[in-house]
Amino acid sequence: MAKNFKIFTHRNEGTLHLKLMGDFDGTSAYQLFSVLKRNSNRTSKAFIHTSGLRNIYPFGLNVFHDNLNVLKGKFDKFVFTGENACQLAPEKPMPFDLSISTIPLVEQSGKRSFTLAYLREA
């Protein structure tokens, strides 16, 4: 269990923002599901900010990807941002209507910034 894992939540005009911090393992994946389910009745779009993640364990990724169906009908869109966005976002299409996008950080002249282009949208 990743004892250093934290989720910071923020709402902005009906959009849920989740900032993930620490190590992401199986327990972290279930914590993320819990926060998403608790907040699903007030929003249809969630931004999952991943730059605060240190270690992403394969088991945590498998738990997260394999159980996304528990959110069926709760969200229309997930947008993963940050340097770990492409790693955390599922690569395969969802068996239900959930749009997945990633916005990774890019290096531009020594500064980190968000790219405005979506690199992958399912």
In the CATH hierarchy, which fold is given to the domain comprising 6-121? Transcription Regulator spoIIAA (3.30.750)
Q: Where are the beta strands (DSSP E) in 13-119?
A: 15-24, 45-56, 77-81, 99-103, 105-108, 111-114
Per-residue pLDDT, 118: 33
Residues 78 and 99 sit within 8 Å (Cβ to Cβ): yes
Rounded CA separation 27/102 (Å): 23
Rounded CA separation 114/4 (Å): 25
SS3 5: coil
- Given a cut of 50, is residue 122 above it in pLDDT? no
Give pTM, 2 decimals: 0.79
Per-residue pLDDT, 43: 83
Which of 11-15, 49-53, 96-100 has the weakest average pLDDT?
Answer: 96-100
> What pLDDT, in 10s, does the model give residues 26-67?
999 999 999 999 988 878 899 999 999 999 999 999 999 988
Domain ranges for the chain:
6-121
